Amino acid sequence: KQEVTQIPAALSVPEGENLVLNCSFTDSAIYNLQWFRQDPGKGLTSLLLIQSSQREQTSGRLNASLDKSSGRSTLYIAASQPGDSATYLCAPCTGTASKLTFGTGTRLQVTL
């Protein structure tokens, strides 16, 4: 059974800092891994999807890496802004159900 752990659970940084969010998963037989952000009381917004054959994916100030064999992914956020404050979720996709398995996320606060 796939299990996902995200570290740290919460993070507070001043505006402008670069930061790294970590995601580890137990089953390396994944099709892909997706990163989402969730604002309080809102739905999930897709940020990046990395295919199992890829090592990195970039979108603007976001860069996600994937090491499938070791069961790890990182989300790098450059030059953080207060608008980046949200909960970030990673979700590897596995199995015939194409099930996304979620951890409990990293709650990020970027302060002025």
Partner 1 sequence: NAGVTQTPKFQVLKTGQSMTLQCAQDMNHEYMSWYRQDPGMGLRLIHYSVGAGITDQGEVPNGYNVSRSTTEDFPLRLLSAAPSQTSVYFCASSFQRNTEAFFGQGTRLTVV
Which residues lie near partner 1 (CB under 8 A)?
A: 4, 31-32, 34, 36, 42-46, 49, 89, 91, 93, 97-105
Task: Tell the burial category of 105 from Cβ atoms under 10 Å away from its Cβ (0-12, 13-18, 19+).
Answer: buried
Q: Which is nearer to partner 1, 46 or 111 (CB)?
A: 46
Q: Which is nearer to partner 1, 46 or 81 (CB)?
A: 46
Q: Which is nearer to partner 1, 71 or 103 (CB)?
A: 103
Least distance to partner 1 from the beta carbon of 53, Å?
12
Least distance to partner 1 from the beta carbon of 46, Å?
6
Q: Is residue 15 a contact partner of residue 111, using CB atoms and an 8 Å limit?
A: yes
DSSP element (H, E) containing 10: strand 10-14
d(CA 109, CA 30) in angstroms, rounded, equals: 30
